[in-house]
Amino acid sequence: MTQVQDMTNQQLNRALAELMGYSIREYMYSFGLINPYGSVLIEIESVDDAWAYAPDYCTDPADSLEVQTAACEVHGELYIWNLAIVQGWVGGTIISRKEAIRIATARPRERAEAAYITLSQALNGADRIDL
């Protein structure tokens, strides 16, 4: 599996969109991006172009908060630890006040990476944290 840090924004956005329930529907001459509720967001000529209309979790603050919320709903504690690790935390089992502030002010890309890790772990049955 590709390491999340090595993924481009486009790759990570697509992977997160799939985890969030977005999909592609193939039509005779086009492809439609389908949101999690089953509505067609756009119909366009190529799959890659259709995915380009998915939420921009890596750079848009609102979209990154959406995927952060989803990850927290699945496993909030695991998400916080993953976010701390994405930000370079290597300590023990206690997060300092300074580290907590850094977590609270995470950039969209950091939130997206931590959410991807958390949602992927949850999909694969992770229900605990190994430190």
If asked whether residues 76 and 38 sit together in one domain, one would say no
> Same domain for 71 and 114?
yes
Number of domains forming the structure of the chain: 2
Q: For residue 99, give the H/E element and its range.
A: helix 97-104
**Pair (78, 104) in one structural domain:** yes
Beta bridge partners of 32: 25, 43
Task: Kindly state whether residues 45 and 74 are assigned to the same domain.
Answer: no
User: What is the extent of the structural domain holding 20?
Assistant: 4-51
Same domain flag for 118 and 70: yes
The pLDDT tens digits along the chain (131 residues) read: 459 999 999 999 999 999 999 999 999 999 999 999 999 999 999 999 999 999 999 999 999 999 999 999 999 999 999 999 999 887 766 777 888 899 999 999 999 999 999 999 998 876 555 44
Count of alpha carbons within 13 Å of 32, Cβ hemisphere only?
Answer: 11
pLDDT value at position 10?
96
- Give the sign of the dihedral formed by CA 84, CA 52, CA 122, CA 64: positive
